[in-house]
């Protein structure tokens, strides 16, 4: 009987005092008042650090790597050899082209032209002889010595020898042009072969540092896969990705505040130096570059970075936390009434109030 009374009293206590307990435990809404302070509107971006003029090295010819001249970390000058690709076929082609040049040179000063020159001299001598005979025959004919037929024969012989002489001269000029063309063509082919042979030596296109080598001796190289990465040794830029919704607000010269995982708690200054004018269709972002004003002491390519690009800064702005806004334009007053406000600059935590709210008014944080 005693246990029954205790149980009844326990339930009676819960029934009578439960509303007060729930009321006491109910969370009160957070409240605040607008604050006069500095606000900076910025655009967020993420990206990586790259060395200036960083580029991927490709071989313009296919083949096997015969030798790697450099190693990762080496400093190189523009034109320095990086890789040597096996080029036996190219060497043979160059040798054949050299033989063609030598043969063409020999022809231009050799027997074929000498033979043609001899033919010209022979034809010229015959033409002069036939000319003398014709003059002599005409003199005889003027004295009524000889026959008309003999005179005509001398005239025909002279005309024939004259034509033969002109023909041998023409053949000589044609042969000379052919040989000169063959010589020039052979020299051009030799030059092309030498240039192709040079392509088998992969060279640096700029002064800088070798940051990566992706091939080994004996591996196949071609125009489709990079063999190395080279960039400036001590000059770095931040390559940032910007959402398409923010790109129209950016322009060169804007201040950039950078943070890097490698330098926890530190902020480095930079400024926008370049905006690529085409959007990446896959990521729907634009790429921009920022050059350091205040540079970290040590940097490496591909370090991750986050940035805030400063769009506008305002001193003594009336601000409230962004979490106190409903739909970016409505606040809840202390009496739980709602009011529309006009907002201005915004960062990730605060929003500027241009009108609709006074500094001494209290607002409530919306309940989630």
Handedness of CA 186, 187, 191, 192 (dihedral sign): negative
CA–CA distance, 84 with 221 (Å, rounded to integer): 11
Token pair listed for 150? 């003999």
Domain 55-86+200-230 - what CATH class? mainly beta
pLDDT of residue 13: 44
Structural domain spans, the chain: 31-51+235-364, 55-86+200-230, 88-198
Phi/psi of residue 212, nearest 5 degrees:
-155, 140
Q: What is the pLDDT of residue 330?
A: 92
Q: Block means of pLDDT (10 residues each) for the chain, length 368 residues?
A: 46 46 60 90 93 91 88 94 78 62 62 77 89 86 84 88 90 80 74 69 92 91 89 94 93 94 92 95 94 91 94 89 88 90 85 90 86
Say if residue 262 is exposed, middle or buried (CB neighbours under 10 Å; 0-12, 13-18, 19+): middle
- Residue 247 in contact with residue 283, Cβ under 8 Å? no
The number of beta carbons lying within 10 Å of the beta carbon of residue 127 is 21
- Whether domain 31-51+235-364 has CATH 2.40.30.170: the reply is yes
CA dist list (Å): 293 to 163, 190, 208, 244, 275: 86, 51, 21, 26, 18
Residues 240, 241, 242, 244, CA torsion sign: positive
d(CA 168, CA 122): 9
Predicted local distance difference test score (pLDDT) of residue 32 = 92
Cα 279 to the center of its chain, rounded Å: 15
CB 18: neighbour CB atoms within 10 A? 10
3 state SS for the chain: CHHHHHHHHHHHHHHHHHHHHHHHHCCCCCEECCEEEEEEEEEEEEEEEEECCCEEECCCCCEEEEEECCCCCCEECCCCEEEEECCHHHHHHHHHHHHHHHHHHHHHCCHHHHHHHHHHHHHHHHHHHHHHHHHHHHHHHHCCCCCHHHHHHHHHHHHHHHHHHHHHHHHHHHHHHHHHHHHHHHHHHHHHHHHHHHHCEEECCCCEEEEEECCCCCCEECCCCCCEEEECCCCEEEEEEEECCCHHHCCCCCEEEEEECCEEEEEEEEEEEEECCCCECCCCEEEEEEEECCCCCCCCCCCEEEEEEEEEEEEEEEEEEHHHCECCCEEEECCCCEEECEEEEECCCEEEEEECCCCCCCEECCCC
> In the prediction, which pLDDT does 286 show?
96
pLDDT of residue 94: 61
Q: How far is CA 158 from CA 130, 132, 144, 172, in A?
A: 5, 9, 21, 21
pTM equals 0.58
Pairing of strands 63-68, 81-85: antiparallel
**pLDDT value, residue 12:** 44
Q: What pLDDT is attached to residue 226?
A: 92
What is d(CA 157, CA 152) in angstroms, rounded to the nearest whole number? Answer: 9
Distance CA 55, CA 192 (A): 27
pLDDT the model gives residue 96: 64
Q: What does the pLDDT read at residue 193?
A: 66
Beta bridge partner(s), residue 47? 240, 305
Whether residue 254 contacts residue 309, with contact meaning beta carbons closer than 8 Å, is answered with yes
């Amino acid at each position: 009987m005693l246990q029954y009374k205790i149980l009844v009293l326990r339930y009676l206590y819960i029934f009578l005092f439960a509303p007060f307990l729930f009321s006491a435990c109910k969370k009160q809404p957070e409240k605040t008042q607008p604050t006069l302070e500095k606000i900076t509107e910025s655009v967020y971006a993420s990206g990586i650090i790259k060395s200036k003029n960083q580029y991927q090295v490709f071989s313009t010819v296919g083949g096997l790597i015969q030798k790697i001249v450099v190693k990762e970390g080496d400093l190189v000058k523009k034109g320095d050899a990086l890789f040597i690709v096996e080029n036996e076929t190219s060497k043979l082609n160059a040798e054949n082209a050299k033989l063609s040049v030598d043969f063409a040179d020999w022809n231009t000063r050799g027997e074929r032209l000498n033979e043609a020159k001899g033919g010209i001299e022979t034809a010229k001598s015959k033409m002069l002889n036939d000319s003398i005979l014709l003059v002599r025959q005409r003199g005889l004919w003027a004295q009524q010595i000889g026959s008309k037929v003999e005179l005509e024969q001398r005239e025909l012989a002279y005309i024939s020898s004259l034509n033969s002489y002109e023909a041998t001269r023409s053949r000589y000029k044609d042969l000379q042009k052919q040989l000169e063309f063959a010589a020039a063509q052979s020299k051009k082919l030799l030059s092309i072969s030498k240039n192709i042979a040079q392509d088998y030596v992969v060279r640096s296109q700029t002064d800088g540092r070798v940051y990566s080598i992706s091939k080994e001796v004996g591996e196949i190289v071609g125009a489709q896969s990079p063999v190395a990465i080279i960039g400036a040794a001590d000059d770095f830029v931040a390559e940032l990705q910007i959402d398409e919704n923010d790109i129209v607000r950016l322009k060169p010269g804007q201040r950039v505040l950078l943070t890097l995982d490698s330098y926890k708690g530190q902020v480095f200054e930079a400024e926008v130096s370049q905006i690529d004018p085409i959007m990446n269709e896959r990521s729907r972002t634009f790429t921009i570059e920022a050059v350091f004003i205040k540079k970290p002491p040590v940097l490496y390519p591909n370090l991750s970075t986050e940035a805030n690009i400063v769009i506008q800064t305002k001193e003594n702005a009336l601000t409230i936390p962004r979490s106190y806004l409903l739909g970016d334009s409505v606040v809840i007053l202390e009496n739980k009434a709602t009011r529309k406000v006009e907002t201005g600059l915004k960062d990730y935590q605060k929003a500027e109030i241009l009108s609709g709210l006074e500094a001494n008014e209290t607002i409530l944080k919306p309940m989630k």
